[in-house]
Amino acid sequence: MLIFTFFCFIAFVMSSFITTFAPNYTNIFMRYTELGRTGMMISHLSFGASSLGSVFRETKESESFRAVEAAIEGGINFIDVSPYYGHYKAETVLGKALKNIPRDKYYISTKVGRYGKDGVNIWDYSAQRATDSVYESMERLGIDHIDLINVHDVEFQAALPGGLQKVVDETLPALLQLKEKGVVGHVGITDLQLQNLKWVVENSPEGTVESVLSFCHHTLNDDALADYVGFFEQKGVGIINASPLSMGLLSQRGVPDWHPAPKPLVKACQKAAEFCREKGYPIEKLAVQYSVSFPRITSTLFSSANPDNVRRNIEWANEEPDWELVVQVKEIIGKQQRVTWANS
C-alpha cells in the first residue's frame, strides 16, 4: 500500500510539473542551450519568420498567426526575422502575431543591411541606416527592445565599396552603441559564406560579435559548419544554423526553380529524396533531425507559415534520426557533399 501511494505521489508531481512548465508536451523534450555567452537560453529548434513575408508562397495572416502560436506552444522561444523578408512584410505580420503572446515567452532576432522597396532589393550597411533600421523594426514588431540584432548577409557588403571592413568599422560599432543604450541586447552577423563570418569575428574587437548565423551548412548535403565550430567556441561566439532543408534541396516536393544550387547537386538531392521516400522516411524529417543533432550548434532555424508544418517540425526535432539512413543518404549525395553556391 505504501509503495502504491508513493508511485501515485510521484505521478501527481510529474503531471503537475508538465502542466506548469510545458504548455505543450513537446516542451518536455525541447533542449535549451546558452547562445555563446549571451545568457540567452534558446531552444534547439527555432522559428524563422521569413515565410510570414510570403517569400516562398502567398500566405494568409490568420494562418501565419497560428504558425507563430504553434511554435511558442511547442517550446520554441527564439524567433528570427528581417526587414528584407517580404520587404518589411514578415516583420509587420510577426508584430501582429506577437501582440497576444507574453514578451517573456520569446527572444527576437532581426537584422540590418538588407532591405527592399517596390520589388527592388536594397543593400545599405551604413551606420545611420543600421541605427534607423533598428528603431523601424521595433515599431513594426511592436516591441521596445530587440534581443539580438544581426548584420544581414555580410557577403553583399564584401562586394560594395569598403568591403567587409565597413562592417567592422561602421555597421557593428553603430549596433554596439544601441546595445550600450539598452535598445538591443546582443549583436551578431549572418552569411552563407562561412569564411566571411570568421573574417569579421577575427577582425573585430573581442566580444563585438556575440553570435553567427549561417544557413545550409549543417545539412545532410553540407556539414561544412562543423569545421568552424571550434573557432567560434574559442571566441565565445554562439552558433545558429538555418535552413535544414537546404532551401528546399532536401524535399519530396522537388527543388524550387529559383534555387541557385548547381544541377549535379540538385540531381543528387533528388535521388536521396526518392531513396528516403522508398524507405517510408520523409527526407524532410531526416534533414531536420540531422540538423538539430549536433549539440555544439545552439539552434537550427526553420521557416513555415503553416501551423501543421510547425508542429510536425517540432515533433521531428525532438526525435533521434535514423543514423543508418543518414549514412546512406550521404553516400547517395556523394561527391556533391559541401558543394555550395553564391547567395542571391
Kindly list the catalytic residues: 85
CA–CA distance, 302 with 48 (Å, rounded to integer): 5
Q: Cell digits for 167?
A: 562592417
CA–CA distance, 122 with 115 (Å, rounded to integer): 5
CA–CA distance, 84 with 48 (Å, rounded to integer): 13
CA–CA distance, 217 with 192 (Å, rounded to integer): 8
CA–CA distance, 91 with 82 (Å, rounded to integer): 7
CA–CA distance, 76 with 78 (Å, rounded to integer): 6
- Spatial contact of 252 and 284, defined as CB atoms under 8 Å apart: yes
CA–CA distance, 226 with 203 (Å, rounded to integer): 21
Helix (H) or strand (E) holding 78: strand 78-80
CA–CA distance, 38 with 30 (Å, rounded to integer): 19
CA–CA distance, 232 with 229 (Å, rounded to integer): 5
